[in-house]
Chains A and B, each alone.
Chain A
Amino acid sequence: MHVTFWGVRGSYPVPGPDTVRYGGHTSCVEVRGDEGGCLILDAGTGLRGLGQKLAAEQGGQPFPSRHHLILSHVHWDHIQGLPFFQPAYLPGTRIGIYALRAAAEELQQVIGGITRHEYFPVPLEAVPAEFEFHEVTPGKGFVVDDFEIRPVALNHPFGAVGYRIDGDGTSLAYVSDTAPFTGLLHKQHFLAGPEEASDEDRRVLRAMRDDLVGVLRGCNTVIFDTQFLPEEFEKFPHWGHSTPDHALDLVVGLGVRRLVLYHHAPSHTDRMMDAIEDTYRRKGNSAGIQVVVARERMTLQIGQVTDPGFGP
């Protein structure tokens, strides 16, 4: 199994000279199994480039192809690539979309809502591809291609899910977007600032953390929302994102071999990312975990950590 990062940025795409090396596209990761199975994690602006590659692999021919989009949630930065996913415009394509139903609205209605005529010229219903919508329930595993997938609830406004993916004898987890599991519990209302957690909130947070720890235990590689540096998190603890320290604290002692820092703040320039990589690679080393900063178009083999000092 290997993964390729097509978008590593959070919130919104950031073109320009300061994001050339780490990349400016929003969340999208391609997972490939050894037998050719393919999962797409999130549909941010990175999906456009991935779609161009997949359509090219298909040779532009309208023979049937299947794609699986596994969504953490549907904030804009995680779905706005979908209308620009080239295979969707090739007749015969089937696209399965897996997502949390966070409210009463059907998934089709919510995801189709971004291509209503006021936002985009081609509504989902008019696209040649056939879409299938699958509701994801945290704690309830499912199988896609050769992958076993375990969804787990995350702490993010309106609800989000992380996924552990097992295949080819190894494992990967995608934990984005999430706030830490101490402090406030995100629900479905606007937060102008940090909100005091009730006893019940704290109980829910502990249970969420326990479930996540259970899912991540023994997982080879964990991709984690580490949007903020600690000093930024101090200012925006209610925005639903974590720091690399939160991620490290969570995975230490679980047998995780590699932590991938992901969903970078749009304000983080390449130079800042270099410094983050340097700081957290050292922190990871002392905890026995290889820390890697996600970059656009970077491919990682899962289950084969090759850095000196880290066995597979």
Chain B
Amino acid sequence: MKLRFWGVRGSFATPGPHYLRYGGNTPAVEIVSDAGRRVLIDLGTGITELGKQLMAGEFGEGRGTLPVLLTHTHLDHIQGLPFFTPLFIRGNSIRILGPELLGEPLDQVLQNQLNGHYSPLYGLENLAAGVAIDTVQPGSSLPVEGFEVTAAELPHGGMTVLGLRISVDGKTVAFLSDVEYPIAGPTPAALALASGADLLIHDAMFSDAEYASRAGWGHSPVSSAIAVAERAGVGRLALFHHSPDSTDAEIDTIVAGARRRTSIPLFAAAEGPAFPI
């Protein structure tokens, strides 16, 4: 199993010289199994570059199949969708699995993103690729061929998002982003998703000091990520969904501080080459 971060930034893309090492694209994570099967998590701006690279292979020939796990539809998690080149090639098949959000059907939310006011695509029906959109129930295992995927609800401000546990080749990755736990601490569902994972990717948008003034925003301080990692007994922790106000130097400081507080190996997620789990 290999994993690649295409976008690690939360809320807002951050071009510019101070964001080059960790990267400024919004959330997108690619997992590829040893057998070459691929699954994508979220559709932030990071997928635009992935899309271009996929075009060199079967997606360029209209023979690509891609399952996408969508945690929720806040803009930073879907804004790459209209610019994902494989969607414009007839024959490609892209299946988006995601939650219903506060009563809004997922297909309607994505359809509205592409309506004529906002996009020259005028709607999902104009994408040349076959696009299937399935609403999934949290607490269930998701039908993604070649992978074992479990989804559960995580609290995110006034709503919930999908947390994910993805296993293949005897390895497990847990993806818990856009989550803010109650004062009592990590929820049982979060701990169950992360339990014994080889890699936990966790929302760590704020340093603990920053979090003091941002409680209720739906995001985690670094200490929440560490708490889940320790209690779930994970192999490694990747801090994810960096604040758009955190420069490379500031993320370095957050990582150094976090390493002093736990014996679990940890790093800040960064755009870059795929690495083995």
Quick one: which of B11, B15, B80, B126 contacts A19, CB cutoff 8 A?
Answer: B15
Given known A-B contacts A45-B12, A102-B117, A20 and B20 have beta carbons under 8 A apart:
yes
Range class of the A interface residue count: 35 or more
Over the window 71-106 of chain B, the binary record of Cβ atoms lying under 8 Å from chain A Cβ atoms (1 yes, 0 no) is 001110011101100000000000000000110100
B53 at the interface (CB under 8 A from A): no
Is there contact, CB below 8 Å, between A76 and B24? no
Closest partner residue, chain B, to A26 (CB atom): B13
Residues of B within 8 A of A (CB): 9, 11-17, 19-20, 23-25, 45, 48, 73-75, 78-80, 82-83, 101-102, 104, 109, 112-113, 116-123, 126, 128, 157-159, 217-218, 244, 271
Is there contact, CB below 8 Å, between A158 and B120? yes
Quick one: which of B15, B83, B104 contacts A118, CB cutoff 8 A?
Answer: B104
A140 at the interface (CB under 8 A from B): no
Return chain A residues, CB-CB under 8 Å to B78. Answer: 119
Return chain B residues, CB-CB under 8 Å to A84. Answer: 11-12
Rounded to whole angstroms, the CA-CA distance of A190 and B128 in the bound complex is: 12
A293 at the interface (CB under 8 A from B): no
Quick one: which of A118, A189, A266 contacts B109, CB cutoff 8 A?
Answer: A118
Is there contact, CB below 8 Å, between B48 and A266? yes
Given contacts A16-B24, A83-B75, 4 further A-B contacts (CB under 8 A): A15-B13, A103-B117, A119-B109, A191-B120
Closest partner residue, chain B, to A177 (CB atom): B120
Rounded to whole angstroms, the CA-CA distance of A83 and B119 in the bound complex is: 18
Over the window 4-25 of chain A, the binary record of Cβ atoms lying under 8 Å from chain B Cβ atoms (1 yes, 0 no) is 0000010111111101100111
Is there contact, CB below 8 Å, between B83 and A11? yes
Return chain B residues, CB-CB under 8 Å to A286. Answer: none
Residues of A within 8 A of B (CB): 9, 11-17, 19-20, 23-25, 45, 48, 74-76, 79-80, 83-84, 102-103, 105, 110, 113-114, 117-121, 157-158, 188-192, 239-240, 266, 296
| Nearest Cβ on chain B to A298's Cβ, whole angstroms | 14
Rounded to whole angstroms, the CA-CA distance of A76 and B82 in the bound complex is: 10
Return chain B residues, CB-CB under 8 Å to A121. Answer: 74, 157-159, 217-218
Rounded to whole angstroms, the CA-CA distance of A205 and B78 in the bound complex is: 35
Is there contact, CB below 8 Å, between A157 and B45? no
| Nearest Cβ on chain B to A225's Cβ, whole angstroms | 13
Rounded to whole angstroms, the CA-CA distance of A192 and B90 in the bound complex is: 12
Given known A-B contacts A13-B45, A15-B14, A76-B79, A117 and B159 have beta carbons under 8 A apart:
yes
Please name 25 pairs of A and B residues whose Cβ atoms are closer than 8 Å in the assembled complex, sorted by A: A9-B15, A12-B45, A12-B79, A12-B80, A15-B15, A16-B271, A19-B15, A24-B15, A24-B16, A25-B15, A74-B117, A76-B82, A76-B119, A102-B116, A117-B102, A118-B104, A119-B74, A119-B78, A121-B158, A121-B217, A157-B116, A158-B117, A158-B120, A188-B116, A190-B123
